[in-house]
Structure 1
């Protein structure tokens, strides 16, 4: 009886942990999925050595509210901005010709795709529209509630109404977060 209880407990927690994961896909997969079911793309641009990137992954990307919202409304991409992956995006091939495998967990050369999106700091979350068009980067570590603002802003296309920085400031000031911290 104790073994059955122990097994049930382990399975329960395994399901709970698994249920709180974002469904990460490659950029190529996200663009292909957009053709069948249009959604925006949220791309986490990180590096292996970046402390705030690890905090974003642990604290924000494992928050149940963030996970549920992202999985429902976005295609999520995790992209190592100093990795050696070859990526085809919008008819172009991007790679990292200066990549040094000996520096895999230290500062390395910057991937061509990161340069394409003008990424200069980590973490950066890049938002792409339903046709993979570039919307904007969101730079730096964000708590679940801070990220919620951007997730909802782009999901609802509220950004299209902004004519100036003042419009974003008004949106920011009026925003009422619902996600748990």
Structure 2
């Protein structure tokens, strides 16, 4: 009876392990060093703590095993809280959140530079795919299902 219980327990835990696949997110400050070692395309994900759709993407699309595998294998994945007040050093420049000094939900300079659209204010979530030369290939300014995210990160 104990052996049967152990066997059932092992099989019951198998799906749980598969669901815990995670993207190997790095911070912006780590990206520059990584690119010096090996150039690869980059997936940028700008989120905020209050963004319901960001949380939903974290729980769903960014946990999809196919997406996790593709992103971890083919990209550097950078995740950044767009309202962070931490300074970020990148390519010899320091980027800060100057808006936080005067606004409650100020947006950091990095997402302002990379994710602002001319005709609309910045909104979250933002997912961007950059090529090996750090040029924007594709951008999304909305909640992405797993299927939509797969299309965004395709070759």
Q: Same fold (TM over 0.5)?
A: yes
Aligned to 1:116: 113
TM-score by length of 2: 0.79
What is the alpha-carbon distance in structure 1 between the residues aligned to residue 39 and residue 11 of structure 2? 38
**Secondary structure in structure 2 of the residue aligned to 1:116:** helix
Residues 110-164 of structure 1 deviation map (CA, whole Å, 9 limit, x = unaligned): 1111111143110011222213334442211111111111211xxx3xxxxxxxx
For structure 2, the residue ranges without an aligned partner over 5 or more in a row are 117-121
What is the alpha-carbon distance in structure 1 between the residues aligned to residue 12 and residue 109 of structure 2? 43
Q: Is the alpha carbon distance of 1:10 and 1:83 closer, same or farther for their aligned partners in structure 2, counting shifts above 3 Å?
A: farther
Moved more, 9-18 or 82-91: 9-18
Aligned to 2:78: 77
Q: Is the alpha carbon distance of 1:60 and 1:118 closer, same or farther for their aligned partners in structure 2, counting shifts above 3 Å?
A: closer
What is the alpha-carbon distance in structure 1 between the residues aligned to residue 15 and residue 146 of structure 2? 22
For structure 1, the residue ranges without an aligned partner over 5 or more in a row are 157-181
What is the alpha-carbon distance in structure 1 between the residues aligned to residue 91 and residue 33 of structure 2? 11
Aligned to 2:127: 125
Structure 1 runs (4+) deviating above 6 angstroms are: none
Asked if the contact 1:47/1:82 (under 8 Å) is kept, the reply is yes
